[in-house]
Amino acid sequence: MTRAIYPGSFDPFHNGHLDIARRAAGLFDELLVTVFDAPAKQLLFSTDERIELAGEALEDVKNITIVSYSGLTVKWAQRHGIRVIVRGLRNVDDLSFESRIDMANRLMAPQIETCYLLCSTDYVYLSSTILKEVASLDGDVSHWVTPHTEEALRQRFAERKQ
Of the residues 41, 79, 143, 154, which is catalytic? 41
Verify whether residue 9 is a known catalytic residue. Answer: no
The catalytic residue among 14, 17, 87, 132 is 17
| 90 labelled catalytic | yes
Q: Are 70 and 37 in contact (CB under 8 A)?
A: yes
CA distance 18 to 122: 12
> How far is the CA of 42 from the CAs of 107, 110, 119, 145, 161, in angstroms?
29, 31, 25, 20, 18
17 is known as an active-site residue: yes
128 annotated active-site: yes
Catalytic residue among 9, 14, 128, 132: 128
Q: Which residue is catalytic, options 22, 90, 106, 148? A: 90
Instruction: Give the separation between CA 71 and CA 82, rounded to whole angstroms.
Output: 15
C-alpha dist (Å) from residue 122 to 8, 15, 38, 157: 20, 9, 29, 25
- For the chain, the straight-line distance linking the first and the last C-alpha, in angstroms and rounded, comes to 50
Give, to the nearest 10 degrees, the angle between helix 147-161 and helix 47-58: 150
Among all residues, which ones are annotated catalytic?
A: 17, 41, 90, 128
